[in-house]
């Protein structure tokens, strides 16, 4: 049986990761809407807003992957897999 303190530690770590990603996403949306508005209102003939949008979007994509895709193969996954394999034997 898993220790309650260990469960709490992992849950807290996961909540912190999720909060970090959602904060990053919210900031990305707000700032990029602002940059698009500034670009279109000041110089609509020369569009530049997409450069920071794509650059930052690329970083946000990797943050997403780190939190939702690759996270499942972290240290916690290793520990769970070892316990699972030990229980089978």
**pLDDT tens digits, residue range 45-58?**
999 999 999 999 99
**pLDDT tens digits, residue range 8-55?**
888 898 899 999 999 999 999 999 999 999 999 999 999 999 999 999
- How far, in Å, CA of 27 to CA of 38, rounded? 16
Matching residue, tokens 């994509």: 61
Instruction: State the CB neighbour count (10 A cutoff) for residue 28.
Output: 16
């Amino acid at each position: 049986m898993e220790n309650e303190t260990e469960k709490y530690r992992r849950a807290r770590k996961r909540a912190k990761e999720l909060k970090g990603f959602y904060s990053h996403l919210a900031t990305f949306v707000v700032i990029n809407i602002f940059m698009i508005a500034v670009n279109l209102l000041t110089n609509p003939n020369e569009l530049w807003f997409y450069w920071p949008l794509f650059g930052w979007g690329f970083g946000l994509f990797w943050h997403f992957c780190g939190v939702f895709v690759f996270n499942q193969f972290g240290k916690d996954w290793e520990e769970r897999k070892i316990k699972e394999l030990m229980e089978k034997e």
